[in-house]
Amino acid sequence: MSERFLRPTGIVSAARRIFRSSEASFILLAVGVGIAAGLLAAMLGATAHFFQSTLYGLQVDDRLSGLAHIPPVRLLALPLGGLVLAGIVLLVRNHKRTAIDVVEANALHGGRIPFRDTMLVSGQTLVSNGCGASVGLEAAYAQAGGGIASLIGQWLNLRRNDLRVLVGAGAGAAIGAAFGAPLTGAFYAFEIVIGAYTPASIAPVVAATLAAVVTARTLGATPYLIAATSSQSLATVDYLLYAVLGLVCAVVGIALMRLVSFAEASVRRTKLPEWARPIVGGTLLIPIALASPHALSAGHGALHLTIGGELAIGALALIFLLKCLASVVSLGFGFRGGLFFASLFLGALLGQILTGLWMLIPGVVPLSPVDAALVGMAALAVAVVGGPMTMSLLVLEATHDFGITAVVLTATLCSSALVRERFGYSFSTWRLHLRGEVIRSARDIGWMRSLTARKMMRAAPATALPTLSMSDFRQQFPLGSTSRVLLQDRSGLYAGLVPTAAVFADLGSAERAISELAILQNVVLSPEMSIASIMEAFDVSGADDLAVVDEDRRILGMLTEKYVRKRYADEIDRSQRDLYGEN
């Protein structure tokens, strides 16, 4: 999208003032975004189903993962989809930057998502899911909803926090429309995209998700309903047993995320061209699909078949392993998508498998496979995607049962706590971490990157030659004139720092060179270091002052720890005022 298009006109500037000053108008804007997100979610879902219906001969009510058998010739759709992705990779190969998703946009870029990135992520995910690869459409839903919100917000030139809330509202609205679950969509926005739950964001986010769900239902879109209900009354011991299930799901979730990253790294080490990877991946998925079609696509049809289907433990375990393998192969070889619904499906399988094993022990407290499936579904999804309230509300909106929801919340909190303690990332932030980012959630840390040493440093600090004598230094820099002096050799390069007080306190010969008292010769700041890195450098070195130098060690300026920490505190206060809508 061109800068000319995003440049505010007089009308847009007036609208921006209205949205900044009136909460009601901003809520109306969020409703408009929700309607757009609902339309996009319905379109994406219908398009993906059309692709799968055409390629696999599905009927209107069929789901690919719910088929009992797929003719082998139909499975050529998998490498065919990889071929289409290869073409997309070749088209964008000169675009070196990785596409920005909604989580990264809100964490680092103030909610700004380039229109091109929205089209790229949504298109690649649509092709991947449409050809049957073991990935979900949720990444496309969130990207499309958040992307259209970002585009509108940038056009209106909204302030940073308002844009982040609007992007979260758009992404959550699209997810809510896909599942027919407005509360799930709202908390997806709060926990996963915005990274905070504040009074200022409640009304616009909830309004957007409600508008999206109503829009999708009006269009006749089929939501991803999870048809299951709790089958027994729950006692205190059930809470304890399902809490343990939550911990097991956390371990499995961590293992799954590490397996995907290991597969991606292994594929990169093969030197296989990037464009060829999805073609090879699609070919590798064929034998998995022949063994069990339940491993294909996101897993909606298979979830309905397996919850309460009274399958044997061996059959459930086989489907679980094949689905894990299919997801790892799909993502490892370049198919685009996420593990949102796959983790729900895998968690449901895991809950039933563990319940079956538990019931083999004589005299134990009986557990319901359906309840275990619901608990495992939410707990594993929390481990992979994050958002304990999001997944708990998904179960509530699916079952309308507060009893099982309370147990699910217990398990999801246990799962979330263990993942944070032992791993620290969701699937989206883990992949960003592997790229070298420091994101652990969608909380806004972009301002920390923009606040660099170059922007904060004091230019033209006091400097002196290292060969200057003690007596000459005392005459040139009397006490009170400056607290420190940077040493700069005759080539103009940094040679250390001398505290003024240390020179005046020295009792040695006044003719000695001040270089003898120089400190921090090898501890410097680069101009592009962020404020977080700068504070870490001060902590490690124990210094009060540090020089800012370029690549050639030429002095650019100086920073004091006191000033840096004051700027950090001021920015934290400002961001909190923006977050809570205070003046």
Q: What percent of the chain has pLDDT over 90?
A: 47
Residue 223 reports pLDDT greater than 60: yes
Output the domain CATH number for residue 455: 3.10.580.10
Q: At what angle do helices 369-385 and 402-422 cross, to 10 degrees?
A: 40
The reported pLDDT for the residue numbered 572 is 66
Q: At what angle do helices 313-332 and 236-269 cross, to 10 degrees?
A: 40
The reported pLDDT for the residue numbered 137 is 92
Rounded-to-integer distance, Cα 100 and Cα 106, Å: 10
Q: Which of 264-278, 301-315, 320-334, 442-456 has the lowest mean pLDDT?
A: 442-456
On whether both 260 and 395 belong to a single domain, the answer is yes
Neighbouring C-alpha atoms within 13 Å toward the C-beta of 261:
18
Name the average pLDDT for the chain.
Answer: 87
In a domain, 153, yes or no: yes
Residue 440 reports pLDDT greater than 90: no
In a domain, 11, yes or no: yes
On whether both 241 and 170 belong to a single domain, the answer is no
Contact indicator for 137, 126 with CB cutoff of 8 Å: yes
In a domain, 440, yes or no: no
Q: How far is CA 474 from CA 480, 482, 490, 498, 546, in A?
A: 11, 11, 20, 12, 21
On whether both 420 and 477 belong to a single domain, the answer is no
User: Per-residue confidence at 480, pLDDT binned at 50, 70, 90?
Assistant: confident
On whether both 162 and 289 belong to a single domain, the answer is no
In a domain, 167, yes or no: yes
Q: Which amino acid is at 124?
A: Q
Count CB neighbours of 127 within 10 A: 25
In a domain, 441, yes or no: no
Contact indicator for 367, 358 with CB cutoff of 8 Å: yes
Question: Tens of pLDDT along 536-571?
Answer: 888 888 888 899 998 888 988 899 888 888 887 777
Greater pLDDT, 91 or 107: 91
What is the DSSP pairing of strand 555-560 with strand 458-459? antiparallel
Question: Tens of pLDDT along 31-88?
Answer: 999 999 999 999 999 999 999 999 999 887 788 988 888 999 999 999 999 999 999 9
Strand partners, 548: 525, 557
On whether both 453 and 316 belong to a single domain, the answer is no
On whether both 72 and 210 belong to a single domain, the answer is yes
Of 434, 468, 498, the position where a domain reaches its end is 434
On whether both 68 and 170 belong to a single domain, the answer is yes
The reported pLDDT for the residue numbered 291 is 94
Q: Based on the structure, what is the number of domains in the chain?
A: 3
Domain that holds residue 488: 448-574
What's CA 144's distance to the chain center, in Å?
A: 15
Q: Which amino acid is at 137?
A: L
Q: Which of 419-428, 445-454, 515-524 has the lowest mean pLDDT?
A: 445-454
The reported pLDDT for the residue numbered 380 is 96
Question: Tens of pLDDT along 103-159?
Answer: 888 877 888 899 999 999 999 999 999 999 999 999 999 999 999 999 999 888 888
In a domain, 183, yes or no: yes
User: Per-residue confidence at 576, pLDDT binned at 50, 70, 90?
Assistant: low
Q: Which of 506, 464, 457 is nearest to 482 (CA)?
A: 464
In a domain, 439, yes or no: no
The reported pLDDT for the residue numbered 409 is 94
Of 174, 195, 226, the position where a domain reaches its end is 226
In the block, tokens 């505010």 appear at 8
Torsion, Cα 381 382 384 387, to 10 degrees, reads 120
In this prediction, residues 308-319 reach a mean pLDDT of: 87
On whether both 279 and 403 belong to a single domain, the answer is yes
Of 372, 404, 434, the position where a domain reaches its end is 434
User: Per-residue confidence at 3, pLDDT binned at 50, 70, 90?
Assistant: very low
In a domain, 210, yes or no: yes
On whether both 144 and 219 belong to a single domain, the answer is yes
On whether both 61 and 209 belong to a single domain, the answer is yes
The reported pLDDT for the residue numbered 18 is 75
On whether both 352 and 302 belong to a single domain, the answer is yes
Neighbouring C-alpha atoms within 13 Å toward the C-beta of 15:
15
Q: At what angle do helices 369-385 and 236-269 cross, to 10 degrees?
A: 50
Question: Tens of pLDDT along 240-251?
Answer: 999 999 999 999
Greater pLDDT, 317 or 398: 317
What strands, in cross-sheet order, belong to the sheet with 555-560? 458-459, 555-560, 545-549
Rounded-to-integer distance, Cα 373 and Cα 387, Å: 18
Per DSSP, the chain holds a count of helices (H) and strands (E) of 25, 6
DSSP 100: P
Output the domain CATH number for residue 80: 1.10.3080.10
Residue 90 reports pLDDT greater than 80: yes
- Which two structure tokens, joined as six digits, stand for 23? 């909460």
On whether both 161 and 80 belong to a single domain, the answer is yes
Rounded-to-integer distance, Cα 381 and Cα 138, Å: 13
Residue 425 reports pLDDT greater than 80: no
Question: Tens of pLDDT along 173-189?
Answer: 999 999 999 999 999 99
